Amino acid sequence: MIDPGSGVAHPLTGRGPASNNLSYGSARSSAQGDPIMDKPRILSVGQCSFDHNSMTRHLSKTYGAEVAGANTLSEALVTLRAGEFDLVLVNRVFDGDGSEGLDLIRAIKADPELAHVPVMLVSNYEDAQAEAQSLGALPGFGKTDLRHDHVPALETLFARPV
């Protein structure tokens, strides 16, 4: 949980006070300036509808997350700029148009307004994971990992399930 009194930026997002985890979402301010603790907001990009729905169920049940979807690189960038997200999950190859997920990771990390947002590649391929990490992504996971109750890469980010 974010410690509102610490006054130090979070090491992953660069926003708000530092914490040991994001297990109950990021701190956003109300009109009165008080922190609002809400659900982690995740943007899932390039998944087919079956995988998106499966990931949404898992992330919602396990981490209390709110999951939004985007189909293309441009749609993902517009969505990211329109709202705060705690994590972006990027498919290796986008289902809708065949675009490369690594191109989205490059675009996010090259954009000063978005570079602070944590990104993970969704892929079982080790070489793709290594390339994503070299671009600034966090260690990701494969879709088959979602068959388990705990996904180590997500546990690291969110610290514990709800």
pLDDT value for 139: 94
Q: Which residues pair with 9 in a beta bridge?
A: 17
pLDDT at 72: 96
Question: Kind and range of the H or E element at 62?
Answer: helix 49-63
Joined together, the tokens standing for residue 72 give 């293309």
Q: How far apart are CA 58 and CA 156, in angstroms?
A: 16
Enter the pTM of the model: 0.77
Instruction: Catalogue all structural domains in the chain, each as residue range(s) with its CATH number.
Output: 40-153 (3.40.50.2300)
Give the count of beta carbons closer than 10 Å to the beta carbon of residue 130. 11
Q: What is the pLDDT of residues 102-134, one digit of tens each?
A: 999 999 999 999 999 999 999 999 999 999 999
Q: For residues 90 and 45, give the distance between their C-alpha atoms in angstroms, rounded to a whole number.
A: 5
- What are 9-24's pLDDT values in tens digits? 333 444 433 333 333 3
Q: What is the DSSP letter of 162?
A: -
